[in-house]
Homo-oligomer: A and B are copies of this chain.
Amino acid sequence: MMNVPLTLPMMMERAETYFPKKQVVSRTLDGIHRINYKELGLRTRKLSHALEKLGVKEGEKVGTFAWNHHRHLEAYFGIPGMGAVLHTINIRLAGQHISYIVNHAEDRVLLIDEDLLPLIEAVQDELKTVEAYVVMTDQEKLPETSLSPVYHYEKLLEGADATYEFKRDIDENAPAGMCFTSATTGNPKGVVYSHRSIVLHSMALGLADSAAVSESDVAMPVVPMFHANAWGLPFAAVWFGTTQVMPGPQFTPQALAELIESEKVTLSAGVPTIWLGLLRELDTGDYDTSSLRAVLCGGSAAPKGMIQAFESKYNIPFIHAYGMTETTPLVSLSRLKSYQTDLEEEERLEIRSKQGTMVPGVEMKVVGKDGEVAWDGHEMGELLLRGPWIADEYYQDDRSSQAFVEGWLHTGDVVTVDEEGTIKIVDRTKDLIKSGGEWISSVDLENALMAHEAVFEATVIAVPHEEWQERPLACVVLHDGSHVSKQEMYDYLKPQFAKWWLPDDIVFMKEIPKTSVGKFLKRALRDQLSDHFALAND
């Protein structure tokens, strides 16, 4: 068989060749922007050429710091199209984490959304490798900025060659993309995606039993393009000639509902917080969502009631999915098997609310204290994964050996498996809190708290939250005789963390329950405080 590498340029060329008329619709700050794949392809080629002219070499990293829109999509293909590596930077990270990952990745160029400039300006002095800042803006003129040297994205493209030929002889195992994920403690850890992994993952997204991404779809990735490549949806959608709707910077529930109606969106993807917001919006407004054939939900577990509301109230099929930055990210989807469709509604809902079965290409093991667990829906174990789109290391990071052991990724998620091989996440081995699809390190918060002179001991736990699924709650024991107010504690934490990392509440206690060997009994605390926010809301 021919040795044809699986690379991203092949995907973009297919869109240009067979679907030149199909559109990418972006909701910008100025309104709706439309571009077809023919034009997008030409602009993507220009971007590749412009990056070459800026001096970017094969294998070097180019960072993006941007919302979901057509220019970001051009970067998705234009950067790997000339052999460089697309590094999507999570705009929600704290400043010191942003500078760390840009430096660690050695980004040569950063492509930045105009409205996000201040976040990069704030850390520019820390950035050691960036040789050019490119501002993605709809305005004629560059905005005022302290960044230097700075370029106007559109002006760069004007001077570039639309007949640029994408690199087709790239090794399929060469890096194409990169994304950092928060660690239990310390700096984020980098995951490098190969061309091969992205192509195979895109195929998986197109499978009839997976997301079934099709040319006939209108796909709206609400999950940010700086989050595990918006779950790979933009890549797959380009390859299959799918119309794309990019919600841009202001993806309020109302904006999403309006886009679904006006653009006749058939498929969307986002975290539970997004769908909860949309559900509330649908409850209050009068929207036509009949075009939707499926919403994909991942990043955190979706509450059963929400799945039911989507399906029975609005007739919108809801697909629960599971994955992580380390897994490109699609690992499993919860779809009924053919012989499960006759079950009672409650049973079907029960299955649908689990994380599903492995998509073709991904294999799992669930390992408890005594080896692989029974598939009985009760025994719990850590989920281990392997497959051609599962990472085998963190980028130049000593912490790799903790997660990647003997060919398997140890996810840190604790699951049960039922008789059908359907997994259900029941716990987490790592001290991480997932708020609206984003990780928060409880350990980092604890370390900061414990560094306060008045604090004797402190722990931070994840407490269920209706809108964000989980929010951090700090439990603090002060030294005898010390007195610190809640406000003083917040003032102390604020400069050290992104705003949304701050605990929703700080509870002062006399003692934190511990195990026999002195470890915090977080589970006991969680049980004790599980309705803390619910009560607070009353």
Contact = CB atoms under 8 A, between A and B. Distances in A.
A173 B5 CA distance: 12
Given A18-B420, A240-B209, A360-B206, A1 B196 contact: yes
Interface string A380-421: 000000111111100000000000000101000000000011
A91 interface: no
B207 A1 contact: no
Interface in A5-20: 6, 10-11, 13-14, 17-19
A68 interface: no
Contacts of A196: 1
Interface string A170-181: 000100000000
A214 to B, nearest CB: 4
A33 interface: no
A4 B206 contact: no
Copies in the complex: 2
Nearest to A10: B363
A206 B211 CA distance: 11
Contact of A390 (B2, B361, B386): B2
Contact of A386 (B4, B212, B361, B389): B4
A388 B4 contact: yes
A26 interface: no
Contact of A388 (B1, B386, B390): B1
A535 interface: no
Contacts of A18: 357-358, 420-421
Nearest to A266: B338
A239 interface: yes
A197 interface: yes
A447 to B, nearest CB: 32
A215 interface: yes
A3 interface: yes
Contacts of A216: 209, 337-338
A387 B421 CA distance: 34
A204 interface: yes
A2 B388 contact: yes
Interface in A339-364: 339, 357-358, 360-361, 363
A441 interface: no
A194 B338 contact: no
Contact of A208 (B212, B243, B388): B212
A57 interface: no
A213 interface: yes
A90 to B, nearest CB: 20
A482 B374 CA distance: 83
A203 interface: yes
A193 interface: yes
A212 B212 contact: yes
A204 B173 CA distance: 20
B208 A2 contact: no
Nearest to A6: B388
A174 to B, nearest CB: 11
Contacts of A167: none
A104 interface: no
Given A19-B337, A209-B240, A239-B360, 9 more contacts: A2-B387, A2-B388, A2-B407, A13-B363, A18-B357, A18-B420, A21-B339, A208-B212, A208-B214
5 contacts: A1-B194, A2-B388, A4-B388, A4-B390, A11-B360
Complex A-B, nearest 3 residue pairs according to Cβ-Cβ distance, in ascending order: A208-B212, A1-B197, A216-B338
